[in-house]
Amino acid sequence: MGEAATTPAYAESFAEAAADFGVLGPQLWEPVSTATIMRTRPMPGERVLDACCGDGASALPAAELVGEEGHVDAVDAAQAMIDRLVTRAGSDLPQLHPHTADVLEWDADGYDLVQCVLGVFFFDDPRAGAEHLVSLARPGGRVGFTIWAPGAIEPLAEALFEALLPFRPELEDLDLADMSPVMRSASTPGALAVWMGGLGLTQVRADAVPRTLELSPELAWGFARGTGMRALFGDLGARKVEEVRTAFLATIAEREIERIDASTLVGVGRRPE
């Protein structure tokens, strides 16, 4: 396992969210990652970088597809996520190499495939971060990005924001739009393709992947505590967190939010030869 590098600001929230993150796996992370893998297409013997790998939803199938002759570096800044990945992988994937590190400081290159599933938004400068990832692909190598589609998980973020305000009044000055995981510069498949072309990639193809989830209270709270929304909680104690949970779920019930949009956009391009 790689040594830990400088920890980016978002890593602490995801370290704390590791258990809740896992709750969303079967219904969210794994289907989103499957849609990505179907487009990035890791091949036997290839060398792959899975950036912002979380607990391995895309790294694990990538490792299976490249086989024992291949190599997958799975990089995430949150140690708790890497620990979950190691547990999930077991000992059957010697080609999978987990690393606790800031991928923006990752300097290995020459990858046949670099993929980042729902991670670019968390970079302080998404474009600069994406450019760094592109630089790690070999000439002719593939680069894939998966991002949220417009409107994805939006009603949940609004409901959580309102539930938190009585406990964190300082959030009132926060523009919720600034917390949106949607990249405004790449809000459609065409815009994502143009954005990726601006990174120097060629032969870019981008697709919308529609997905709607039936929303149970458990799944709704999983979104609140197991995604980037967790950062809104700050350092609230357990009692206040439980009060927020009650208010949050009550708002969802009042507004009859029974389904949630979890659609994504997936783009894949090639680094020029």
What pLDDT tens digit does each residue of the chain (273 aa) get? 334 444 455 455 455 555 666 678 888 999 999 999 999 999 999 999 999 999 999 999 999 999 999 999 999 998 989 999 999 998 889 999 999 999 999 999 999 999 999 999 889 899 999 999 999 999 999 999 999 999 888 899 899 999 999 999 988 887 666 566 667 778 899 999 999 999 999 999 999 999 999 999 999 999 898 888 888 898 899 999 999 999 999 999 999 999 999 999 999 999 999
Task: Determine if the pTM surpasses 0.85.
Answer: yes
Residue 133 Cα distances to 80, 130, 144, 188, angstroms: 23, 5, 10, 21
Entry field: residues in the chain: 273
Residue 168 Cα distances to 11, 12, 32, angstroms: 21, 19, 32
Collapsed DSSP state (helix, strand, coil) of residue 234: coil
- Enclosing H/E stretch for 198: none
Give the whole-angstrom CA distance, residue 237 versus residue 269.
45
231-246 as b/e: b if 16+ CB within 10 A: bbbeeeeeebeeebbe
